[in-house]
Structure 1
């Protein structure tokens, strides 16, 4: 078993090294050029259609509001990657890793936008009258690749089992370490909370996420901003370190072991790609249920996700770790506690641990709710609504099994299964990029121009 585990580990390390970086980063760069750098050129318009319309009501086909779809998608990206993943990247790649995290976010906006646009373009109604969509639909309907669509759906359906276990175990371990709460009770509590939400369907998930996600982000950002206020004089130096060590090696200091430019790039790209999930094909599954009258408009909410997840929350985590000096004090093996260490001088040990534990708990709850929804939709696509309910039960049981650390051998397949999801999705998006460009051109040439004409005629 040890040899088999090592084989799987070596295989996933190889796949998620250069090959996956080339696919995701290269794909994002290609889409950025194909779409004419729209995420930069049209950024003010994107802001006006997202930040500017958070509370606007839509009179368009769909099951949930655009904001509810976005917060639901954010629920699966906001989590350990923001609070734990960023410190790991800094511990292994130095402050310069943050620069490369920003770079991949900028490129990933095009990928996320394209996924969401295709999700809206090829969505359809299910037997319950709800809009459903995602990679499995645009692969089948847009390209006619029925077997590839089924392969994607099956791989993601199985991957969700392992992912659910890992998520529940992370919060059970955190709560047991911080408060001595038995993992079994944590698992039962998470099962109940998640079950109450997912049995209400996509509308309930949307209503819960639009309230809980902003609350979680605000609480975490207030805590981070408080720490930055105490370390205000170190902020300019933090940015200097980020830009300097993105292009030159950083020496060892304290608990930091030092890092070369290659490590900075590798860990910055890895954390950026993993954090915002651009290219993974999960976001369009929930965005496809959004009430919107043009795919491009919902695609802008995909850009909004990347901005909030990577450029706002991950950046705040990075600045907290760097300005506090925690990145020099804590080595890679204990990097998961870097944020707590950064909070401690300001809030004290107990409060710092409570803030991080509570934030992680809420992040995990919302993440598990949404990824189970993703898994259900794959089961529905493959075998119908009845089987989707069977898989819902399987996922809920997996929460408890994961919390107590059971079936850990399944976890080692997580990254391998994820690769099986990412590869067909990114390839399909690249093949459908002409359609994405056509939809985008239609929006800016016809939709936006018509709006401006209407404004002038009213004026």
Structure 2
């Protein structure tokens, strides 16, 4: 097992090396410039579209609002609680700054993904809408690029078992064992039953549960974070200065924490940022392809809100509380560090974090099950749906028995392998995205591919 761990560490170091980080940030910056930063300029308009289009207008399986909630159910997970803490431990407070940068350019990436997903989606043999990188590669690019669609689908089918299955159940079992002495396997078995009750009903049941649960849990966590920050409002400016300074100096100014190199801050900030908001990963457009809409641009603007809410709001809450409470020098990591920070910030804060982690992990499991299933359907046809759902459910308790550090490494590596074919496709399809966007805002018909 040690040899395998060292092998995964080596692969992970290569997968998240300079080339990958340049590709992720470079693609987002290229799309932002090509779109004339419309993603940043149209955030208020995107929120208006989101709430005015809850019922959906056009063909699809679920409403645009439900599509975003399904996407957020997969992105708002342990990355917002445990992932942010891990990034700050490994990369110093400056990692949070690079998470912000990743989100700002990642909004354009998420927008382009959803535009392409709606433009090139298909209906499967059962009448369900299927879309995402594998479809916009196959339907939007020359045949010589079609192998990328298969590569994405293979990695997407496998990655879910790491990023959204075993990682989630592992983190929940860890925090419940720490605070409530619940045996890990018992946690895994309960999660298995709850997830099975939702995902065996298909995307419409997943969307219904996500549309109810995601707004409630996200709003509750944000309110708790705001309460902590308001009661420590005088410490916020110093915390922001610490974060920005650490992003470029590689060391932290607060608490005597030794920090890390600038490269570590960038690497872990970008990696954990992508793990959290999934911009460029290619997962979210799978959900947005099922939206009841006839306008790819409108769904793209709704989709970009996922990155805004996930990283610039929820992850920022976690990161600021950790820095302000000065808990980094304790040596604790993961969800336990976040719980410690919130416990110092308000009475009973650790229990609220524990509840939030459980809910975040649960929704991530149900959201990502749909992603993995659609990838499996692309590879093997509609007959793969039920076997995939059953395998997904059975893997949940296994995750509670696996070493967390190894699980995170595997999840990060599979993230990178998913992102590569998707980012290549987005770069190649970017001119079409630019034309579609200009036509929409100019009131013209959408151009042909």
**TM-score normalized by the length of structure 2:** 0.92
Deviations 1:143-191 (A, max 9, x none): 1333321222122112223331222122122212211112222111111
**1:140: how far off?**
0.8
Would you say the 8 A contact 2:81–2:334 is kept in 1?
no
**1:86: how far off?**
1.8
**1:409: how far off?**
7.8
**1:292: how far off?**
1.2
Q: What corresponds to 2:339 in structure 1?
A: 340
Would you say the 8 A contact 1:153–1:381 is kept in 2?
yes
Change in Cα spacing, 1:22 to 1:208, as seen in structure 2 (3 Å) is same
**1:410: how far off?**
8.0
**1:15: how far off?**
1.6
Change in Cα spacing, 1:185 to 1:335, as seen in structure 2 (3 Å) is closer
Q: Which structure 1 segments of 5+ residues have no match?
A: 449-459
Change in Cα spacing, 1:247 to 1:412, as seen in structure 2 (3 Å) is closer
* Paired residues for 1:67-146 under 5 Å: 67-143=65-141, 144=143, 145-146=145-146
The one of 423, 433, 436 equivalent to 1:426 is 423
Would you say the 8 A contact 2:175–2:336 is kept in 1?
no
* Paired residues for 1:378-457 under 5 Å: 378-405=375-402, 413-446=410-443
Change in Cα spacing, 1:407 to 1:357, as seen in structure 2 (3 Å) is closer
Would you say the 8 A contact 1:119–1:285 is kept in 2?
yes
- The structure having more radius of gyration, on CA atoms, is 1
Q: Does 1:361 pair with 2:358? A: yes
Change in Cα spacing, 1:120 to 1:410, as seen in structure 2 (3 Å) is same
Q: Does 1:287 pair with 2:285? A: no
Deviations 1:67-98 (A, max 9, x none): 11001111111111111222233334333332
> What is the alpha-carbon distance in structure 1 between the residues aligned to residue 397 and residue 217 of structure 2?
24
What's the secondary structure of 1:446's corresponding residue? Answer: coil
Q: What corresponds to 2:214 in structure 1?
A: 213
> What is the alpha-carbon distance in structure 2 between the residues aligned to residue 49 and residue 181 of structure 1?
43
Would you say the 8 A contact 2:122–2:130 is kept in 1?
yes
Pick which of 274-283 and 98-107 moved more: 98-107
Q: What corresponds to 1:59 in structure 2?
A: 57
> What is the alpha-carbon distance in structure 1 between the residues aligned to residue 290 and residue 443 of structure 2?
24
> What is the alpha-carbon distance in structure 2 between the residues aligned to residue 423 and residue 298 of structure 1?
23
Would you say the 8 A contact 2:255–2:326 is kept in 1?
no
Q: Which structure 2 segments of 5+ residues have no match?
A: none
Change in Cα spacing, 1:397 to 1:20, as seen in structure 2 (3 Å) is same
Would you say the 8 A contact 2:242–2:252 is kept in 1?
no
**1:219: how far off?**
1.4
Deviations 1:4-42 (A, max 9, x none): 431231121122121210111111111112222222333
Would you say the 8 A contact 2:167–2:404 is kept in 1?
no
Q: What corresponds to 2:19 in structure 1?
A: 19
Backbone CA RMSD of aligned residues = 2.3
Q: What corresponds to 2:249 in structure 1?
A: 248
> What is the alpha-carbon distance in structure 2 between the residues aligned to residue 309 and residue 355 of structure 1?
18
Pick which of 361-370 and 316-325 moved more: 316-325
Would you say the 8 A contact 2:275–2:412 is kept in 1?
no
> What is the alpha-carbon distance in structure 2 between the residues aligned to residue 275 and residue 413 of structure 1?
15
Change in Cα spacing, 1:428 to 1:255, as seen in structure 2 (3 Å) is same
**1:254: how far off?**
4.2
Would you say the 8 A contact 2:325–2:345 is kept in 1?
no
**1:313: how far off?**
0.5
> What is the alpha-carbon distance in structure 2 between the residues aligned to residue 70 and residue 300 of structure 1?
10
Aligned length: 442
> What is the alpha-carbon distance in structure 2 between the residues aligned to residue 334 and residue 410 of structure 1?
15
> What is the alpha-carbon distance in structure 1 between the residues aligned to residue 403 and residue 344 of structure 2?
37
Runs of 4+ in 1 over 6 A off after TM superposition: 406-411
Pick which of 96-105 and 309-318 moved more: 96-105
What's the secondary structure of 2:443's corresponding residue? Answer: helix
**1:293: how far off?**
1.7
**TM-score normalized by the length of structure 1:** 0.90
Q: What corresponds to 2:180 in structure 1?
A: 179
Change in Cα spacing, 1:427 to 1:290, as seen in structure 2 (3 Å) is same
Would you say the 8 A contact 1:252–1:259 is kept in 2?
no
> What is the alpha-carbon distance in structure 1 between the residues aligned to residue 12 and residue 93 of structure 2?
26
> What is the alpha-carbon distance in structure 2 between the residues aligned to residue 446 and residue 320 of structure 1?
45
